[in-house]
Amino acid sequence: MKTFKDSLKGLRQTLRQPAPEKAAPPQPAAPEELDFRQLFRDVKPLRTDSRHHHELPKPKPRPRKPSQGPALRASVQQEILQHAIGWFEPPELPHQFARAGMPHATLKRLRQGNWPVCAKLDLHGYDRHQAQDALSLFIHRARQRGQCVKVIHGKGFGSPQGEPVLKKLVRSWLQHHPDVLAFCEAEPGVDGGSLLVLLRRPPAEFQDQG
């Protein structure tokens, strides 16, 4: 019995002794620091650029004048509207026209031949678009030759619409043309329906060139 107690006493002493500390695991070795020159020894340096690089000017703090944009758009719109005049037939057929400010005797003098006819334009066989382009070019060129021209638009009996088309449109175009001062119907003759047109005189510098 004593022997058993001695064995338990020895076991207790053994358990009371602290357990041996475990050895720490080995730490991985730190990587060696690479040298920068060694790492990029195969890279070739770029050549220095000796050219002067022009810097773009900075935008102005103030915006452009607002009058430039609207004025440009207005001129373009006016040109488009000027060319579009006459695409639709006017309801009335004016037999004569005199621009505001012209003397009262202008139409009478125009009928009497006070201004000699310097050029004629015959629009027979033209459609409305061809006639408008031809009339604009004719007036531009005729102003260098004189003030009075004759425009022959015909009576319109052969129109597909069954009624004169150019007879109305030509008068509408002439009323809206800035260089036309007056027009009246010419005396009936071999030309058929026609108009005598009084044009604005060109400036003196353009007269000298003509």
Q: What is the DSSP string of 177-188?
A: -TTEEEEEEPPP
Domains of the chain with CATH codes: 90-209 (3.30.1370.110)
Residue by residue, DSSP assigns 59-80 as: PPSSPPPTTHHHHHHHHHHHHH
β pairing state of 180-185 and 96-98: antiparallel
Residue 123 confidence (pLDDT): 93
Determine the angle formed by the axes of helices 128-142 and 166-176, rounding to 10 degrees.
40
Rounded-to-integer distance, Cα 110 and Cα 151, Å: 14
DSSP category for residue 198? E
Residue 188 confidence (pLDDT): 72
Residue 136 confidence (pLDDT): 93
- From first to last of its 210 residues, the chain has per-residue pLDDT tens of 566 666 767 667 776 666 666 666 677 666 666 677 777 778 777 777 777 777 778 777 776 655 555 555 555 555 544 555 555 555 667 889 999 999 999 999 999 999 999 999 999 989 889 999 999 999 999 999 999 999 998 876 655 555 678 888 999 999 999 999 999 999 876 566 899 999 998 876 555 454
Contact (Cβ atoms closer than 8 angstroms) between residue 94 and residue 182: no
Burial class (CB in 10 A: 0-12, 13-18, 19+), 149: buried
Count CB-CB contacts under 10 A for residue 186. 20
DSSP category for residue 106? H
Rounded-to-integer distance, Cα 151 and Cα 118, Å: 11
Residue 105 confidence (pLDDT): 95
Residue 75 confidence (pLDDT): 57
7 Cβ neighbours under 8 A, 6+ residues apart: none
Residue 146 confidence (pLDDT): 93
Residue 148 confidence (pLDDT): 96
Residue 2 confidence (pLDDT): 61
